[in-house]
Amino acid sequence: MAEIDHIVLGARTLAEGAAFVEQHLGAKPRPGGTHAGFGTHNMLLGLGRGAYLEIIAPDPDQPEPPHGRLFDLDDPAVKVMLEAEPRLIAWVARTPVLDAMIARLGPRGGEIKPMSRGELRWRMAFPPQRQDMDNLIPALIEWPGESASTRIPDSHVRLLQLEAEHPEADAVRAALAERGLEEALRVRRSPHARLIARLRRADGQEVTLSSG
């Protein structure tokens, strides 16, 4: 029904995000583009097997958007966190049946928004704020045609495991299960919410990125 599409690294600027990725993952991300009207732009790193890492940051060449930037980049707590260094902030799951899934989820699934970047077209639905379990419940994406991952060179970095920690672990598991994602994210109970990605670099070294 759904599977991991990409993981999202937030940064104060794309330059800071790219330097962080190159330092920690030993690979250079490629330019992505702008999200017109959303106030953000990105860079991308191919992780093979249809997955990728997205670096996202506020786009200084766009006006302030009429709504908050994607992935809570305008949230004061997130901005303070990214002042220290880029961080893993979210993940996105893809589905070929977005309309049916959102119809079944109702308001919990969020509103479907068409988006584009250059020749790429896609549709996304973000869970309503305070219903995303601290960004552990992913936005859903549908690629009607070619996906971004098909255009990104393989960095030979691999996503080994995506994990989550949350004080309401059972609620996170239930929300994932109704999206068909119970196998995508390993969830455990913890006093603090945290998203964790375990990756293997091209040189075999394992690296952990997290939201906290």
Q: Tens of pLDDT along 123-133?
A: 999 988 656 78
- Bridge partners of residue 112, in order along the sequence: 125
SS3 of 138-189: the string is CEEEECCCCCHHHHCCECCCEEEEEEEEECCHHHHHHHHHCCCCCCCCEEEE
Comparing 39-48, 111-120, 137-146, the range with the smallest average pLDDT is 111-120
- Closest alpha carbon to 93 in 124, 120, 59, 116: 124
Distant-in-sequence, close-in-space partners of 181: CB < 8 Å, separation ≥ 6: 1, 2, 3, 93, 138
Going from the N-terminus, what domains does the chain have, and what CATH number goes with each?
Answer: 3-156 (3.10.180.10)
- Residue in this structure with the two tokens 């004061």, named with its chain if needed: 76
**Res 101: pLDDT:** 94
Q: Each residue of 145-177: pLDDT tens digit?
A: 888 898 899 999 999 999 999 999 999 999 999
Helices (H) and strands (E) in the chain, counts: 4, 12
Q: What whole-number distance in Å separates Cα of residue 79 and Cα of residue 12?
A: 7
| pTM for this model (two decimals) | 0.95
The answer to whether the beta carbons of residues 9 and 197 sit under 8 Å apart is no
